[in-house]
């Protein structure tokens, strides 16, 4: 019997970009720090071992354009992060000798993925990057984050022809930095599910935006122990409705896998299947627009790799 494979049978109709680069391993953290280069190594092993690599379009990573960085972050803050020398930005957030280059490349990966979508080369992408970004505020890095990769990507998206940008953040922690970047902006919608109360303390349901941005931030705080049922409601009911009303031109996903029940840093009870349903719902709500995922948290190595694999499978559907 001839084994038949290929696009005729529904595989790989959707072109999905995968962006990763050895430069991301150059951002070092102190021994025992959960945000370590091992996170990316475990993801790359999974992509290679599971046969996903051949189904993905590997794309090069370039540094984020300066004007997109400056559209989010204060110049003085960027100059301070770029200074040489190892030091702590806060008790959790370490800058190593070569952190600037990976930080620029992490934000740049999101921009590059969006460029490839705009050029029609892909329709979705996953950026396996570090350091993560969603806690980085315009003038302050924190929570393992130096540059806000999703926020810089959103400004890049607008510059290349996607005026309305949806950012959806399923990391277990609230993306205070992303919220701060667009709190008064009606052109970027920020949607977040997160454990609450928890680090960093923001993300109450009443935080809905201000001025022109009123109504363009939506926080779904979830108590410790919340799991698949709460996530199903949050995404199937609320996220879908917000997306339909906002009518975005592209979607950026802050993909943090510390929401999983196996993660050591938080206490939600989301299963593998729960992660799959979240991603599937986001993909279906954004089926007609470019969708770019960027890695945020996720600190149990095997769980992280497995959940990134689940995400890639859903992006490829």
Q: Least Å distance between CB 48 and Zn ion? A: 25
Q: Does 102 bind Zn ion (CB under 5 A)?
A: no
Quick one: 17 or 297, whose CB is closer to Zn ion? 297
Contacts of residue 248, Cβ cutoff 8 Å, sequence gap at least 6: 162, 164, 165, 166, 189, 286, 289
Q: Does 133 bind Zn ion (CB under 5 A)?
A: no
> Which position among 102, 131, 209, 256 is part of the footprint of Zn ion (CB under 5 A)?
256
Q: Least Å distance between CB 263 and Zn ion? A: 8
- 127/24 Cα distance (integer angstroms): 11
Quick one: 136 or 289, whose CB is closer to Zn ion? 136
Q: Which two tokens stand for residue 277?
A: 């349903």
Q: Does 173 bind Zn ion (CB under 5 A)?
A: yes
Quick one: 142 or 165, whose CB is closer to Zn ion? 142
Of 4-12, 203-211, 258-266, 270-278, the segment contacting Zn ion by CB under 5 A is 258-266
**Known catalytic membership, residue 194:** no
Q: Least Å distance between CB 261 and Zn ion? A: 14
Please name every residue paired with 137 in a beta bridge, in sequence order, or none if there are none: 140
CB 139 within 8 A of CB 73: yes
Quick one: 162 or 191, whose CB is closer to Zn ion? 191
The active-site residue, picked from 135, 173, 174, 198, is 135
Q: Does 277 bind Zn ion (CB under 5 A)?
A: no
**Which residue has the CB atom at the shortest distance from Zn ion?**
297
Between residue 278 and residue 307, which ones bind Zn ion under the rule CB under 5 A? 297
Say if residue 147 is exposed, middle or buried (CB neighbours under 10 Å; 0-12, 13-18, 19+): buried
| Total residues in contact with Zn ion, by rule CB under 5 A | 5
Quick one: 142 or 316, whose CB is closer to Zn ion? 142
β-bridge pairing 124-127 and 16-19:
parallel
> Which position among 21, 195, 207, 258 is part of the footprint of Zn ion (CB under 5 A)?
258
Of 23-31, 85-93, 168-176, 219-227, the segment contacting Zn ion by CB under 5 A is 168-176
Cα first-last separation, the chain: 26
Which residue spans within 107-256 are E strands per DSSP?
124-127, 165-169, 188-195, 217-222, 250-255
Say if residue 171 is exposed, middle or buried (CB neighbours under 10 Å; 0-12, 13-18, 19+): buried
10: left (phi over 0), alpha (psi -120 to 50) or beta: left
Q: Does 65 bind Zn ion (CB under 5 A)?
A: no
Which residue spans within 76-210 are E strands per DSSP?
87-90, 93-95, 124-127, 165-169, 188-195
Q: Which two tokens stand for residue 202?
A: 């923001």
x/- track of binding to Zn ion for residues 205-244 (CB under 5 A): ----------------------------------------
Q: Does 195 bind Zn ion (CB under 5 A)?
A: no
Binding site for Zn ion (CB under 5 A): 171, 173, 256, 258, 297
Residues annotated as part of the active site: 135
């Amino acid at each position: 019997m001839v084994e038949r494979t290929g696009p005729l049978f529904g595989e790989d109709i959707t072109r999905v970009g995968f962006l990763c680069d050895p430069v991301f391993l150059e951002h070092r953290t102190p021994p025992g720090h959960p945000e370590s280069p091992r996170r990316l190594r475990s993801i790359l092993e999974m992509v290679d071992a599971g046969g996903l690599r051949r189904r993905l379009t590997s794309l090069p990573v370039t540094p984020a354009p300066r004007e997109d960085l400056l559209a989010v972050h204060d110049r003085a803050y960027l100059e301070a992060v770029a200074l040489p020398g190892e030091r702590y930005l806060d008790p959790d957030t370490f800058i190593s000798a070569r952190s600037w280059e990976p930080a620029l490349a992490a934000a740049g990966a999101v921009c590059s993925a969006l460029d490839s979508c705009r050029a029609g080369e892909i329709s979705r992408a996953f950026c396996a990057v570090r350091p993560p970004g969603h806690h980085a505020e315009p003038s302050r890095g924190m929570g393992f984050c130096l540059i806000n990769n999703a926020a810089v990507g959103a400004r890049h998206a607008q510059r290349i022809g996607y005026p309305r940008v949806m950012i959806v953040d399923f990391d277990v922690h609230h993306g205070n930095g992303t919220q701060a970047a667009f709190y008064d902006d009606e052109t970027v919608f920020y949607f977040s599910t997160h454990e609450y109360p928890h680090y960093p303390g923001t993300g109450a349901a009443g935080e809905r935006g201000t001025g022109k941005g009123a109504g363009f931030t939506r926080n779904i705080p979830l108590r410790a122990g919340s799991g698949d049922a709460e996530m199903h409601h949050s995404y199937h009911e609320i996220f879908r409705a917000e997306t339909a009303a906002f009518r975005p031109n592209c979607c950026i996903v802050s993909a943090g896998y510390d929401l999983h029940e196996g993660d050591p840093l938080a206490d939600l009870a989301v299963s593998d299947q729960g992660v799959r349903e979240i991603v599937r719902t986001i993909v279906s709500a954004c089926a007609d627009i470019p969708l770019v995922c960027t890695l945020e948290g996720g600190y149990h190595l095997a769980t992280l790799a497995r959940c990134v694999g689940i995400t890639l499978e859903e992006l490829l559907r």
